[in-house]
Amino acid sequence: MFFLILLVFVLCNSNGLVSSLNTEGFTLLSFKQSIYEDPEGSLRNWNSSDETPCSWNGVTCKEQKVVSISIPKKKLYGFLPSSLGSLSDLRHVNLRNNRFFGSLPTELFQALGLQSLVLYGNALSGSLPNEFGKLKYLQSLDLSQNFFNGSIPTSIVQCKRLRTLDLSQNNFTGSLPDGVGTGLVSLERLDLSFNKLNGSIPSDIGNLSSLQGTVDFSHNHFTGSIPASLGNLPEKVYIDLTYNNLIGPIPQNGALMNRGPTAFIGNPGLCGPPLKNPCSSNTPGASSPSSIPFLPNNYPSQDLDNNGGRTGKGRGLSKGAVIAIIVSDILGICLVGLLFSYCYSRVCACSKNKDESGYVFDKGGKGRQECLCFRKDESETLSENVEQYDLVPLDTQVAFDLDELLKASAFVLGKSGIGIVYKVVLEDGLTLAVRRLGEGGSQRFKEFQTEVEAIGKLRHPNIVTLRAYYWSVDEKLLIYDYIPNGSLATALHGKPGMVSFTPLSWSIRLKIIKGIAKGLVYLHEFSPKKYVHGDIKPSNILLGHDMEPHISDFGLGRLANIAGGSPTVQSTRVAAEKPQERQQKSAPSSEVATVSSTNLGSYYQAPEALKVIKPSQKWDVYSYGVILLEMITGRFPVVQMGTSEMDLVQWIQLCIEEQKPLADVLDPYLAPDVDKEEEIIAVLKIAMACVHSSSERRPTMRHVSEALSRLAVSSSD
């Protein structure tokens, strides 16, 4: 069949008889023939007149052999041909975020050297072939956000080198294959959420000691009890078991210990801490070691005779023992009373001569001690009580309590190294965003309270408002206003699984640009401490109903550190990655678009941030400049140049040096706004000033905001 396809190409191509295109080139031309729509012309330079396909867009070769096909996010509409499996040296396939349909051809698994298969965000369907076991070198498998069904092939456990397994948001059914925990020993990321998987969670999952981040079993139909072996996973791993049909007590060991209730909600049959639903004696597994109450060694036992009856030894306490206990209790009460009287005599009573702080100092005769008293109405509530388990409002408009919050409908908005963010809808319709910082860690409550209350005082239309917080030993929550239109990153670039994508017009982009500037001016100039945000990037800019921008995550890294979490960034200083670590380990090295928004964060960082310990407001100015360039060009902050990478700032500087026309730099979605060219160029000049390599040469955000205001006035003349 494959040779018949080649023959058809030779006969149909006018240059076929003289073409010297090699066999792999014809294989890729058969792939091109399977594409019905290519709206962006991504395969335009795939021509049979070339000797090899190595210069074609999205194709990478090594020693004239195709090793990578990477064409993500190009709206390609078609199916995957079986001929791809004949590329014997193929290592990486990345066709994410296109519109491929149909099933996964079994012939694809003839490419035995395949290391990464990234197909998420398409419309692929059908069951997965059992040939996965042939891919002994497979390290990354991401089939999320498709329509695959059937069971997960049992042969997947033979992929011993697999590091990433993401099958989320499909229609998989059945139970997990036997041996997942013993076979996939290299697994670092596991996401099975939003499927229809059932059966019990295998106990051998606890053997996956390399797992990181979140292990996601949520939104499935898993049944049975939670295996205690899950506690053997690394303690920093967050195990998401929400919305299944799990039952019984929650094991309290290892990675399962001190977890908040948010990891287990949606399982009515679960009981025991951290849930408020206590386990009854009839609950399956309630007699497990984790739920046995502690008994002192001297707990009076009732000895049994050989027939099972109680002996005389165990008939209870003797009369003498009861009397001794009563006498000791009376003596203890007397001692406490004497101690209280002594302490009371040493403390002076509060008089009317108090100063404004509520303290009184007795300056009496020699030997008199200095003492102080608090006013009865002085509020020393949460700050004096770390074990307070109640919601702390930071705004007088907060009219809900903790119970209402916990009973509300919750939806996961996103996950990161700093925790999970939920959209929470209260019974009265009020919508909030709740960030869960995590559980455990250091208990520096005073420090946390100081930081969170300072953040809660910030009030500006372009900064997300922190309304309340919750602190307990095993749960820390931050409650914000909910901003409905997602992040600027999504508005600019879309995201996997988006059904439709509406590009931002220039007028909307300019509105967002000015709003971000105003928010930063407030932080830098008018906030109580003239703050530095330190982590400005599109994913931290949220868009409201009218597309007004709201800066989020201010101070988040600092709070996560105090709360004992493991943040990926800090608000005062972003921890940069090494260039070679900016991409996900499992992603194809030739494709930048696979980099997560978290890993892209270092590209927004000012170059001097790695050398200077004290944060500067000019760091935020640099980050803001990169965002402006991203909004003008529509590109990510790292640009692919053939087989090499270049950050967006360097790329723009190169374009300016080569005097390329604006059309080569401009986001194609801005083509209808050609009449705004002067305005766009003016913003580009502001951006280049913001990303100057010397921090002293960068403008302040106030100057930037004023320049943008003048620009708006001049453009309306």
Going by the DSSP 8-state scheme, the letter that residue 508 receives in this structure is H
Of 38, 204, 240, 535, catalytic: 535
State CA 166 to chain mean position distance.
15
Q: Between the CA of residue 454 and those of 379, 466, 517, 524, what are the distances in Å?
A: 18, 10, 21, 15
In 3D space, the residue among 699, 687, 700 whose CA is nearest the CA of residue 655 turns out to be: 687
Those residues whose C-beta lies under 8 Å from the C-beta of residue 65, and which sit 6 or more positions away, are 24, 88, 89
The answer to whether 108 and 132 have CB atoms below 8 angstroms apart is no
DSSP string computed for 203-257: GGGGG-TT--SEEE--SSEEEEPPPGGGGGS-TT-EEE--SSEEEEEPP-SGGGT
The distance in angstroms from the start CA to the end CA of the chain is 67
As given in the structure block, the two tokens for residue 14 are 């006018």
Q: Between the CA of residue 226 and those of 221, 249, 251, 291, what are the distances in Å?
A: 13, 8, 7, 14
In 3D space, the residue among 210, 224, 170 whose CA is nearest the CA of residue 192 turns out to be: 170
Query: Phi and psi for 77 in degrees, rounded to 5?
Result: -120, 115
In 3D space, the residue among 456, 341, 356 whose CA is nearest the CA of residue 397 turns out to be: 456
State CA 226 to chain mean position distance.
24
611-650 in b/e form (b: 16+ CB < 10 A) is eeeebbbbbbbbbbbbbbbbbbbbbbbbbbeeeebbbbbe
Element containing residue 159 per DSSP (H, E)? none
As given in the structure block, the two tokens for residue 586 are 């499992």
Is 535 known to be catalytic? yes
DSSP string computed for 395-455: STT----HHHHHHSEEEEEEEETTEEEEEEE-TTS-EEEEEEEES-S---HHHHHHHHHHH
What does DSSP say about strands 269-271 and 409-416: parallel, antiparallel, or unpaired? unpaired
Q: Which residues on adjacent β-strands are paired with residue 68?
A: 60, 92
In 3D space, the residue among 63, 40, 41 whose CA is nearest the CA of residue 52 turns out to be: 63
What does DSSP say about strands 409-416 and 419-425: parallel, antiparallel, or unpaired? antiparallel
Which of the residues are catalytic?
535
